[in-house]
Structure 1
Amino acid sequence: MSTSPYEQTARTLLQQASGRVTPARIGVLGILLAATAALTHQEIEHLAQQQGFSFDRVTLYRALDWLVEHHMAHKIAGTDRTWRYNAQMGIPHQHAHFHCKRCEQVFCLENLQPAWLFTLPTGYQVEEVELNLQGCCPDCAINSH
Structure 2
Amino acid sequence: MPTPHTPNPAAELIAACGGRVTRTRVAVLDVLQSSDRSLNHDEIAAALATGGMPYDRVTVYRILDWLVEHELAHRVIGPDRARRFKAGRNAGGEHAHFHCNRCGHVVCLESIQPDEGLRLPEGFRTERAELVIHGTCADCGRTRSNRA
- Output the TM-score relative to the length of structure 2: 0.85
1:19 and 2:32 aligned: no
CA–CA distance in 2 between the matches of 1:94 and 1:143? 31
The amino acid that maps onto 1:117 is: E
Indicate the residue corresponding to 2:87 in structure 1: 87
RMSD of Structure 2 on Structure 1 (CA): 2.0
Residue 117 of structure 1 aligns to a residue whose secondary structure is coil
Q: Deviations over 1:2-38 (max 9, x none)?
A: 329xx92111111111111111211111100101110
CA–CA distance in 2 between the matches of 1:8 and 1:27? 10
CA–CA distance in 2 between the matches of 1:127 and 1:13? 26
8 Å Cα contact 2:74/2:92 also seen in 1: no
Q: How many residues align?
A: 141
Q: Where in structure 1 are there 5+ consecutive unaligned residues?
A: none
Indicate the residue corresponding to 1:59 in structure 2: 59
CA–CA distance in 1 between the matches of 2:70 and 2:113? 22
8 Å Cα contact 2:73/2:87 also seen in 1: yes
The amino acid that maps onto 1:94 is: E
The amino acid that maps onto 2:112 is: L
Residue 90 of structure 1 aligns to a residue whose secondary structure is helix
Larger radius of gyration: 2
Indicate the residue corresponding to 1:107 in structure 2: 107
Please state how far the C-alpha of 1:91 moved relative to its aligned partner: 4.2
Provide the identity percentage: 40
Q: Where in structure 2 are there 5+ consecutive unaligned residues?
A: none
Structure 2 CA distance for partners of 1:70 and 1:124, relative to 1, 3 Å: farther
CA–CA distance in 2 between the matches of 1:90 and 1:136? 25
CA–CA distance in 1 between the matches of 2:18 and 2:63? 15
Structure 2 CA distance for partners of 1:125 and 1:29, relative to 1, 3 Å: farther
CA–CA distance in 2 between the matches of 1:57 and 1:11? 21
The amino acid that maps onto 2:2 is: T
CA–CA distance in 1 between the matches of 2:128 and 2:25? 23
CA–CA distance in 1 between the matches of 2:28 and 2:123? 38
Please state how far the C-alpha of 1:125 moved relative to its aligned partner: 4.8
- Output the TM-score relative to the length of structure 1: 0.87
Residue 75 of structure 2 aligns to a residue whose secondary structure is strand
